[in-house]
């Protein structure tokens, strides 16, 4: 583990620990990484790169806790989730500030993330209702049939850097609410908020091993994917890692859901309300510095629609204030790291080289050169073959492709290897209906720039944006974190007679 990391004052930064079997423990892995504030490059902590042995210890603790926890009455598990919700709400502002320091996102975006996190816990609190099975009496003479839901077992959740609070809550409350035990492996880039969540979880006095936190990167993920003691894996991250995780976890017979990357197209019809569209698209493309899997990334402007929205949109984007997310009035914080900044600016360069023109260039000078800032960027005259039109940039870059018709727009959306989110802006119900029917995308916004996850509805993309059968949130979360058991029964002593329908 690195011992040389220092903060801006030159003092050593603290080393983070794993939380295994109810205790904070030092990792045994080789080395660690500095966790940096992307707004100024200051070191906030050192995160360990845990070894397979650390992961195995966490899985063993989760396994040991499972029999007792899965038999705990469901109403008691729900009460603990209510308490978790209360603890998170009491620390909402602390969470938001920590999110801003760790991810760079503006404080307003951080507060919104915390609301989404809170809503998923609230949804999981309904577990005594939502975990119910189904029953039907008298399916034959004197015979009843019931389906029960039971926990899957030991679950692993592996999360990305961009929503460390919300995405932890996509999995943790539903998993333990359904009676599973959990090992969380958060992003090594933004591990501070998951750590605070575990500090609060300690106050619930859960039995040791019900929830476990293992920091790290690739080695820790591989150990989770290979561990025979893990029954189910939830993953969120880039498309390439999602495909890798899906395959490797499935190879050992685990249940897997792998949420991957995205390229989200926004179709603008000529009848759309121009000023509202401009405001919505600016929020979609540049909110969270474009580091959202649901960020709108490409405008497909139908039949002259770009000319109608160009001026208000570019002006609104240009007005966004870029800076440290902690400062009042900041609209756009930095991207997560200098590496991410280099990747985003390289993509802008590639777009220009391929023939796009810059309606707005966000690569100008920045207040703090230690910060990973990129301003809002708008590329116009983009064509569908260009890299910026096809691949995820994950930064504040918006591309504009003019198209002749709705047919052409739908064909372009459906030609993408991704299918996470899309939006359509129009006042025509008939156009919306056709788009909704034909587009191969999991989440659709109608006059809404970001069709963001709603805690009480299922969330998930199509194609390379999601590998698996059951998504996150709503009823899908219950389906993923339970397995069904169907019991067909009769009672001779009850005087029931008649033949069971499968008996000859």
Please tell me whether residue 392 binds ligand NAD under the rule CB under 6 A: yes
Q: How far is the CB of 239 from ligand NAD (least distance, A)?
A: 6
Nearer residue to ligand NAD within complex by CB, 39 or 166: 166
Nearer residue to ligand NAD within complex by CB, 196 or 269: 196
Q: How many residues line the site for ligand NAD (CB under 6 A)?
A: 27
Q: Distance between CA 308 and CA 86 in Å, rounded? A: 47
Residues 245/273, Cβ–Cβ less than 8 Å: no
- The two tokens of residue 156 are 């692993």
Please tell me whether residue 482 binds ligand NAD under the rule CB under 6 A: no
Burial (CB count <10 Å: 0-12, 13-18, 19+), residue 293: buried
* Bridge partners for 58 per DSSP: none
Nearer residue to ligand NAD within complex by CB, 255 or 263: 263
* Residue 125 is among the residues annotated as catalytic for this protein: no
55 sits in which H/E element: helix 52-71
Q: How far is the CB of 2 from ligand NAD (least distance, A)?
A: 17
- Here's the x/- map for ligand NAD, 287-306, by CB under 6 A: it reads as ------x-------------
CA-nearest of 56, 403, 16, 27 to 195 is 16
Nearer residue to ligand NAD within complex by CB, 21 or 237: 237
Please tell me whether residue 103 binds ligand NAD under the rule CB under 6 A: no
Q: How far is the CB of 67 from ligand NAD (least distance, A)?
A: 29
Q: Strand, coil or helix: what is 482?
A: strand
| Residue numbers 106-165 binding ligand NAD by CB under 6 A | 158-163
Please tell me whether residue 312 binds ligand NAD under the rule CB under 6 A: no
CA 366 to centroid of chain Cα atoms:
29
Catalytic member of 123, 155, 178, 293: 293
Q: Are strands 466-467 and 377-380 parallel, antiparallel or unpaired?
A: unpaired
Q: Residue with structure tokens 């930095």? A: 334
Taking contact as CB under 6 A, which single stretch among the options 114-122, 213-221, 296-304, 315-323 is the one that binds ligand NAD?
213-221
Q: How far is the CB of 170 from ligand NAD (least distance, A)?
A: 8
Q: How far is the CB of 162 from ligand NAD (least distance, A)?
A: 5
Return the number of other C-beta atoms located less than 10 Å from residue 74's C-beta. 16
| Residue numbers 157-196 binding ligand NAD by CB under 6 A | 158-163, 185, 187-188
Q: How far is the CB of 474 from ligand NAD (least distance, A)?
A: 14
Nearer residue to ligand NAD within complex by CB, 399 or 426: 399
Binding residue (CB under 6 A) for ligand NAD from 237, 323, 376, 458: 237
Nearer residue to ligand NAD within complex by CB, 159 or 180: 159
DSSP 227-285: -TT--EEEEES-HHHHHHHHHHHHHTT-EEEEE----EEEEE-TTS-HHHHHHHHHHHH
Q: Are strands 232-236 and 255-259 parallel, antiparallel or unpaired?
A: parallel
53 sits in which H/E element: helix 52-71
| Residue numbers 417-456 binding ligand NAD by CB under 6 A | 420
Nearer residue to ligand NAD within complex by CB, 61 or 293: 293
Instruction: Give the number of C-alpha atoms closer than 13 A to the C-alpha of residue 439, restricted to the C-beta side.
Output: 31
Q: Distance between CA 116 and CA 121 in Å, rounded? A: 9
Nearer residue to ligand NAD within complex by CB, 241 or 422: 241
Q: How far is the CB of 33 from ligand NAD (least distance, A)?
A: 10
Q: How far is the CB of 86 from ligand NAD (least distance, A)?
A: 27
Q: Which stretches within 328-459 are classed as H helix?
A: 338-353, 387-390, 406-415, 429-438
Q: How far is the CB of 119 from ligand NAD (least distance, A)?
A: 16
Q: Are strands 482-489 and 143-151 parallel, antiparallel or unpaired?
A: antiparallel
Nearer residue to ligand NAD within complex by CB, 19 or 77: 19
Please tell me whether residue 51 binds ligand NAD under the rule CB under 6 A: no
* Bridge partners for 229 per DSSP: none
| Residue numbers 393-422 binding ligand NAD by CB under 6 A | 394, 420
Q: Which residues are CB-contacts of 447 (< 8 A; sequence separation ≥ 6)?
A: 272, 273, 276, 277, 280, 423, 424, 425, 426
Please tell me whether residue 246 binds ligand NAD under the rule CB under 6 A: no
| Residue numbers 252-291 binding ligand NAD by CB under 6 A | 259-262
Binding residue (CB under 6 A) for ligand NAD from 181, 280, 426, 465: 465
490 sits in which H/E element: none
Q: What residues are annotated to the active site?
A: 293
- Give the footprint of ligand NAD on this chain (CB under 6 A): 158-163, 185, 187-188, 217-218, 221, 236-238, 241, 244, 259-262, 293, 392, 394, 420, 461, 465
């Amino acid at each position: 583990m690195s011992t040389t990391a220092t903060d801006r004052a030159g003092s050593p930064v603290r080393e983070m620990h794993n939380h295994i079997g109810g205790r904070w423990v030092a990792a045994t892995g080789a080395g660690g990484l500095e966790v940096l504030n992307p707004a100024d490059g200051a070191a906030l902590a050192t995160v360990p790169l845990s070894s397979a042995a650390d992961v195995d210890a966490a899985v063993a603790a989760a396994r040991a806790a499972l029999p007792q926890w899965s038999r705990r009455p469901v109403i008691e598990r729900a009460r603990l989730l209510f308490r978790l919700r209360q603890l998170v709400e009491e620390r909402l502002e602390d969470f938001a500030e920590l999110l801003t320091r760790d991810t760079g996102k503006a404080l307003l975006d951080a507060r919104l993330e915390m609301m989404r996190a809170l809503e998923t816990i609230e949804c999981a609190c309904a577990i005594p209702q939502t975990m119910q099975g189904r029953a039907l009496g008298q399916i034959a003479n004197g015979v009843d049939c019931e389906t029960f839901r039971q926990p899957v077992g030991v679950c692993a959740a592996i999360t990305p850097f961009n929503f460390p609070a919300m995405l932890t809550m996509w999995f943790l409350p539903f998993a333990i609410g359904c009676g599973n035990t959990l090992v969380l492996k958060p992003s090594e880039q933004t591990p501070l908020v998951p750590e605070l969540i575990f500090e609060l979880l300690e106050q619930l006095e859960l039995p040791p091993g019900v929830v476990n936190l293992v920091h790290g990167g690739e080695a820790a993920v591989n150990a989770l994917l290979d561990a025979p003691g893990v029954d189910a894996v939830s993953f969120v991250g880039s498309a390439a890692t999602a495909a890798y995780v899906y395959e490797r976890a499935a190879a050992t017979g685990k249940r897997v859901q792998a949420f991957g990357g995205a390229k989200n197209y926004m179709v603008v019809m000529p009848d759309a309300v121009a000023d509202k569209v401009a405001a919505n698209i600016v929020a979609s493309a540049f909110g969270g510095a474009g580091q959202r899997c649901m960020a709108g990334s490409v405008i497909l402007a139908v039949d002259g629609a770009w000319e109608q929205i160009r001026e208000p949109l570019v002006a609104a984007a240009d007005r966004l204030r870029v800076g440290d997310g902690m400062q009042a009035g900041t609209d756009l914080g930095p991207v997560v790291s200098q590496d991410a900044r280099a990747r985003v600016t390289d993509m802008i360069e590639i777009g220009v080289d391929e023939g796009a023109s810059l309606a707005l260039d966000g690569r100008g000078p920045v207040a703090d050169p230690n910060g990973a800032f990129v301003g809002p960027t708008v590329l116009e005259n983009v064509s569908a073959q260009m890299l910026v039109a096809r691949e995820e940039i994950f930064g504040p870059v918006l591309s504009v492709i003019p198209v002749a018709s709705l047919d052409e727009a739908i064909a372009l959306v459906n030609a993408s290897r991704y299918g996470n989110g899309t939006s359509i802006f129009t006042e025509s119900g008939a156009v919306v209906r056709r788009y909704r029917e034909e587009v191969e995308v999991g989440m659709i916004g109608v006059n809404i720039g970001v069709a963001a996850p709603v805690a009480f509805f299922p969330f998930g993309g199509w194609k390379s944006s999601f590998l698996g059968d059951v998504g996150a949130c709503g009823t899908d979360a219950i389906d993923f974190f339970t397995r069904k058991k169907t019991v067909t029964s009769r009672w001779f002593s009850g005087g029931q007679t008649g033949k069971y329908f499968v008996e000859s």
